């Protein structure tokens, strides 16, 4: 049955081939169906109730399918506030990231013209497929932001339903939206119907361990016309202390027809491969793993761990500096802007360790490697602190003082060789002081 939308376009209620219960839906291609039927067996009791079921046009459905084909099997760079600045995303794309996402933008401020929020719309020329993420709980704001995303050349819009920070949740944004799945579905249906861009939704498994409702949320989002659902396998209150629940993620992916993108704890190509193969997800997403090693996209494509020594990594970090100079400006003002980000990145870069599959695969199956405590020298690789090269030891320092000085040195040097010599000279004077500060930092870094 065709319905007529406001603009006179033919619209079709979206439903997926599915049987009557949430737990037994089978995977199939999207089909059109009567609007009063639901994949989860829920029967809307009146006209107001079924506002959570989207009526997407054929064009909208076609665009959703096109996006899914572009995403299938590709490791996606997660939305990362602060970390996902444009120069960093460009660096990831240099290493083969084909799908990237913006930092979260507050739709209300974006629509009011806030320059910081507008800057988040901008993508680098090498970002081939770019998702723009917004925080909102209002259909009009979502539609308005969607229009701006189209003008900026984004490939899709994503609604943040996972942000745990109080600034967002106190305003009913981010993970607060998970509290009422039906209301969330109405919001998503309203935005999905109102924009000429696919809409994905990024969720967590629930707000807390006693309120895990991801199965129900994904069922509602499926009816609401989400092109895909990104699931970060943790609750909002969990932070990063416990491993992401890939077993729950697998259940969710396998019991819904709306494609699921799995997210949580990917650090090596073999963990990425295993998650993707075992879960039935459309594809997977990486956050902290990319912040630690932006070359993870190349590793996943090539199916091997790159063993990059300190000089090679220094060259990569200098490339980030060069992208920052181009983006923010190679002058005092540009430096001020860049230095909100650059030293911060070393909080993650310093966690890099070579993790060859033959040594680490079995322990990665017990606990994700990103959650394992790694000493400065990796005992599993036979490393000893005193025999680590000075530059290697310096780049592994967790001290914020070290990060500030490394960033300044890289910014000020005009070649890799000059940067290396300057850093070694600095380390000769300050390494022991920096290393003494390290222990206080561990907990903070682990929180991401
Ligand atoms: C520094 C940082 C910033 C983040 N910012 C966002 C954000 O803006 N929007 C969002 O949906 N998730 C954000 N996240 C969560 C990540 O997108 C991702 O879901 C989470 O880190 C789990 O993936 P991982 O285990 O690969 O890091 C952020 C995470 C980190 C570490």
Q: Which helix (H) or strand (E) holds 44?
A: none
Residues 409 and 425: their CA atoms lie apart, in Å, by 11
Q: What's residue 91's pLDDT? A: 99
Residues 250 and 108: their CA atoms lie apart, in Å, by 35
Q: Which helix (H) or strand (E) holds 39?
A: none
Give me ligand 1 centre to Cα 78, in Å: 6
Q: What's residue 69's pLDDT? A: 98
For residue 266, which atom of ligand 1 is closest to its CA?
26
Q: Which tokens is 442 given?
A: 């561990």
The best mutation among 97, 232, 264, 346 to test binding of ligand 1, ranked by most ligand atoms within 8 Å of the C-beta, falls on: 232
Arithmetic mean of pLDDT, 389-410:
97
CB burial readout 29-68, b (16+ within 10 A) else e: ebebbebebbbbebebeeeeebbbbbbbbeebbebbeebb
End-to-end CA distance of the chain: 49
The CA-CA-CA angle for residues 18, 234, 155, to 5°, reads 65
Q: What's residue 48's pLDDT? A: 54
**Which of 118, 73, 429, 49 is CA-nearest to residue 277?**
73
**Is the beta carbon of 368 within 6 A of some atom in ligand 1?**
no
The closest residue, in CA terms, to atom 19 on ligand 1 is 232
The best mutation among 76, 78, 203 to test binding of ligand 1, ranked by most ligand atoms within 8 Å of the C-beta, falls on: 78
3-state secondary structure of 138: coil
* Contact present, 54 and 14 (Cβ < 8 Å): yes
3-state secondary structure of 77: strand
Residues 31 and 61: their CA atoms lie apart, in Å, by 10
Does position 9 have pLDDT exceeding 60, yes or no? no
The closest residue, in CA terms, to atom 14 on ligand 1 is 80
Give me ligand 1 centre to Cα 379, in Å: 29
**Is the beta carbon of 133 within 6 A of some atom in ligand 1?**
yes
Give me ligand 1 centre to Cα 287, in Å: 5
The share of the chain scoring above pLDDT 90, in percent, equals: 84
**Is the beta carbon of 104 within 6 A of some atom in ligand 1?**
yes
**Which of 221, 230, 253 is CA-nearest to residue 38?**
221
Does position 154 have pLDDT exceeding 90, yes or no? yes
Q: Which tokens is 339 given?
A: 């230095």
Residues 426 and 150: their CA atoms lie apart, in Å, by 47
**Which of 349, 354, 350, 364 is CA-nearest to residue 266?**
364
**Is the beta carbon of 286 within 6 A of some atom in ligand 1?**
yes
Give me ligand 1 centre to Cα 161, in Å: 12
pLDDT category at 44 given cuts 50, 70, 90 is very low
**Is the beta carbon of 76 within 6 A of some atom in ligand 1?**
no
Residue 131: what are its φ and ψ, rounded to 5°? -100, 135
Arithmetic mean of pLDDT, 198-213:
97
Q: Which tokens is 345 given?
A: 């990145």
Give me the residue label for tokens 């959703």.
64
β-bridge pairing 10-16 and 30-32: antiparallel
Give me ligand 1 centre to Cα 214, in Å: 18
**Is the beta carbon of 80 within 6 A of some atom in ligand 1?**
yes
Which residues, other chains included, contact 371 with Cβ-Cβ below 8 Å and sequence gap of 6+? 240, 243, 265
- Tell which wins on pLDDT, 158 or 12: 158
Arithmetic mean of pLDDT, 92-104:
98
**Is the beta carbon of 232 within 6 A of some atom in ligand 1?**
yes
Arithmetic mean of pLDDT, 49-77:
95
**Which of 392, 389, 400 is CA-nearest to residue 433?**
400
Long-range contact list for 35-39, CB < 8 A, 24+ apart?
Answer: 35/1, 35/3, 38/223, 39/15, 39/219, 39/222, 39/223, 39/257
Does position 16 have pLDDT exceeding 60, yes or no? no
Domains of the chain: 3-302 (3.20.20.70), 310-447 (no CATH)
Q: What is the mean pLDDT of the chain?
A: 89
Q: What's residue 439's pLDDT? A: 56
pLDDT category at 137 given cuts 50, 70, 90 is very high
Q: What's residue 441's pLDDT? A: 53
The closest residue, in CA terms, to atom 2 on ligand 1 is 80
Q: Which tokens is 212 given?
A: 């895990």
Residue 156: what are its φ and ψ, rounded to 5°? -160, 170
Give me ligand 1 centre to Cα 209, in Å: 19
**What is the chain's Cα-based Rg?**
23
Beta bridge partners of 228: 200
Q: What's residue 239's pLDDT? A: 83
Residues 263 and 245: their CA atoms lie apart, in Å, by 10
* Contact present, 285 and 263 (Cβ < 8 Å): yes
Q: Which tokens is 94 given?
A: 């240099």
- Per-residue pLDDT of 30-39, as tens digits, reads 323 333 333 3
Burial of 277 (0-12, 13-18, 19+ CB in 10 A): exposed
Residues 242 and 85: their CA atoms lie apart, in Å, by 27
**Is the beta carbon of 190 within 6 A of some atom in ligand 1?**
no
Give me ligand 1 centre to Cα 417, in Å: 34
- Residue 163 annotated to the active site: yes
**Is the beta carbon of 202 within 6 A of some atom in ligand 1?**
yes
**Is the beta carbon of 78 within 6 A of some atom in ligand 1?**
yes
| Dihedral-angle region of residue 143 (phi above 0 means left; psi in -120 to 50 means alpha; beta otherwise) | alpha
Name the active-site residue from 92, 163, 281, 397: 163
pTM to 2 decimals? 0.89
């Amino acid at each position: 049955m065709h319905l007529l939308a406001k603009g006179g376009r033919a619209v079709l209620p979206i439903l997926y081939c599915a049987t009557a219960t949430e737990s037994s839906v089978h995977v199939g291609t999207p089909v059109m169906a009567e609007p009063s039927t639901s994949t989860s067996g829920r029967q809307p009791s009146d006209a107001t109730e079924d506002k959570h079921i989207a009526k997407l046009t054929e064009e909208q459905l076609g665009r959703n399918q096109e996006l899914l084909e572009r995403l299938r099997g590709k490791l996606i760079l997660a939305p990362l506030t602060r970390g996902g600045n444009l120069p960093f995303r460009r660096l990831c794309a240099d290493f083969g990231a084909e799908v990237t996402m913006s930092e979260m933008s507050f739709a209300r401020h974006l629509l009011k013209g806030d320059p910081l929020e507008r800057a988040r719309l901008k993508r680098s020329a090498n970002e081939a497929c770019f998702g723009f993420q917004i925080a909102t709980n209002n259909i009009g704001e979502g539609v308005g932001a969607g229009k701006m995303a189209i003008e900026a050349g984004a490939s899709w819009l994503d609604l943040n339903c996972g942000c745990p920070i109080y600034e967002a949740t106190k305003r009913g944004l981010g993970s607060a939206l998970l509290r009422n799945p039906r209301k969330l579905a109405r919001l998503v249906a309203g935005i999905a119907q109102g924009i000429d861009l696919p809409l994905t939704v990024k969720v967590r498994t629930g707000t807390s361990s006693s309120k895990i409702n991801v199965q129900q949320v994904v069922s509602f989002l499926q009816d609401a016309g989400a092109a895909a659902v990104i699931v970060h396998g943790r609750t909002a209150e969990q932070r990063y202390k416990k491993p992401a629940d890939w077993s729950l993620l697998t259940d969710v992916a396998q019991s819904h027809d709306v494609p699921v993108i799995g997210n949580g704890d990917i650090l090596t190509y073999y963990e990425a491969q295993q998650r993707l193969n075992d879960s039935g997800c459309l594809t997977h997403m990486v956050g902290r793993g990319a912040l630690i090693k932006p070359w993870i996209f190349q590793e996943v494509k090539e199916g091997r761990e790159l063993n990059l020594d300190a000089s090679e990594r220094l060259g990569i970090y200098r490339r980030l500096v060069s992208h920052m100079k181009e983006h923010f400006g190679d002058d005092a003002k540009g430096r001020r802007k860049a230095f909100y980000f650059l030293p911060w990145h070393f909080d993650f870069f310093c966690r890099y360790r070579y993790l060859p599959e033959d040594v680490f695969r079995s322990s990665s199956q017990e606990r994700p490697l990103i959650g394992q405590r790694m000493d400065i020298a990796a005992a599993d690789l036979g490393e000893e602190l005193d025999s680590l090269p000075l530059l290697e030891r310096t780049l592994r320092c967790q001290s914020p003082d070290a990060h500030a000085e490394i960033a300044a040195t890289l910014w000020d040097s005009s070649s890799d060789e000059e940067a290396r010599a300057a850093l070694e000279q600095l380390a000769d004077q300050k390494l022991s002081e920096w290393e003494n500060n390290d222990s206080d930092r561990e907990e903070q870094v682990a929180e991401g």
